[in-house]
């Protein structure tokens, strides 16, 4: 395994702010580190057997062996990505250009390559965190849940103020450790830049998160889709007051 401070694609385009973690085919098995989770129900030894189906949708997350603060997001559709690419280098490069201004979110830092083809991302790894979807079982009060959702909104708002529109908003893409919140799962096509029209998509997904709160707390309070962050915060405050009655 070799780690390079920059990545150059097959067309010769260099991405100075994208690390490359280079594996040979044989090295992948022994360098992924501790297996954490996957987005599909099947359990398999991905990359350990060439007879495996490399075109199954989804991805795996591993804890890196070379840096305890790094995670490895490995695509299952390797056979597709190795020819068409998922343009992680473009996504990560654009995110890293804005990283200095972003305080609440840590972006992917590099691409994983297997014999010259990208098969995943190098990303921050959050020890002892769990998804908001799973953390819901630990929620102790309405006030705690509303405060967690406010922090989720603040993350999205900071991205918005820096012309980043994260359109894959849902409870499995926020990681929670007590009251600390992290946004994960940056995928090309689901992160938009410099196009304010995508804020409508963000708020539509935010509304779905509000509906998720309602279902958790057994409430039938309904809200229209917010049109700005001020209205989204107001919706949370109104929800809190109604639920605490």
Domain boundaries, the chain: 2-124, 130-243
Radius of gyration for the alpha carbons in the chain, expressed in angstroms and rounded: 19
Query: Exposure pattern of 146-184 as b/e (b: 16+ CB <10 Å)?
Result: bebbbebbebbbbbbeeebbbbbbebebbbbeeeebbbb
Distance, CA of 139 to CA of 137 (rounded, Å): 6
User: What's the pTM value of the predicted model, to 2 decimals?
Assistant: 0.88
**Average of per-residue pLDDT across 16-33:** 84
DSSP secondary structure code for residue 228 in this structure: S
More confident residue, 240 or 15: 15
Q: Give the position of tokens 């830049």.
A: 193
pLDDT value of residue 38: 54
Task: Give the three-state DSSP class for 237.
Answer: helix
Interhelix angle for 229-243 vs 142-161, to 10°? 180
Of the listed ranges 60-64, 102-106, 227-231, the least confidently predicted one is 60-64
Residue 117 reports pLDDT greater than 60:
yes
Residues 6+ apart with CB under 8 A from 71: 36, 61, 62, 63, 64, 122, 123, 124, 125, 126
Residue-level pLDDT at 121: 94
* Each residue's pLDDT tens digit, 32-85: 777 676 554 444 444 444 434 444 556 778 888 889 899 998 887 666 666 656
The proportion of the chain whose per-residue pLDDT surpasses 90, expressed as a percent, equals: 45
3-state secondary structure of 34: strand
Q: How far apart are CA 219 and CA 157, in angstroms?
A: 26
Q: Domain 130-243 sits in which CATH superfamily?
A: Transferase(Phosphotransferase) domain 1 (1.10.510.10)
**Percent of the chain, pLDDT > 70?**
83
């Amino acid at each position: 395994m070799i780690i390079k401070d920059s990545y150059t694609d097959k067309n010769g385009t260099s991405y100075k702010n994208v690390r490359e973690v280079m594996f040979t085919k044989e090295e992948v098995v022994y360098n992924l580190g501790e297996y954490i989770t996957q987005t599909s129900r099947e359990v398999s030894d991905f990359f350990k057997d060439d007879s495996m189906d490399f075109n199954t949708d989804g991805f795996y997350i591993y804890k890196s062996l070379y840096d305890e603060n790094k995670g490895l997001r490995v695509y299952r559709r390797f056979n597709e990505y190795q020819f068409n690419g998922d343009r992680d280098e473009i996504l990560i490069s654009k995110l890293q250009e804005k990283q200095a201004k972003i305080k609440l979110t840590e972006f992917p830092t590099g691409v994983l390559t297997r014999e010259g083809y990208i098969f995943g991302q190098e990303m921050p790894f959050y020890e002892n965190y769990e998804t908001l979807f799973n953390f819901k079982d630990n929620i102790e009060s309405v006030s705690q849940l509303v405060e967690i959702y406010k922090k989720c909104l603040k993350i999205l708002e900071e991205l918005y103020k820096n012309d980043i529109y994260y359109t894959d908003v849902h409870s499995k893409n926020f990681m929670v450790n007590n009251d600390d919140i992290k946004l994960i799962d940056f995928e090309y096509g689901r992160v938009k830049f410099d196009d304010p029209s995508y804020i409508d998509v963000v708020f539509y997904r935010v509304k779905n998160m509000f509906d998720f709160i309602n279902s958790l707390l057994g409430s039938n309070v309904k809200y229209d889709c917010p049109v700005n962050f001020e209205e989204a915060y107001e919706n949370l405050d109104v929800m809190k007051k109604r639920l605490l009655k």
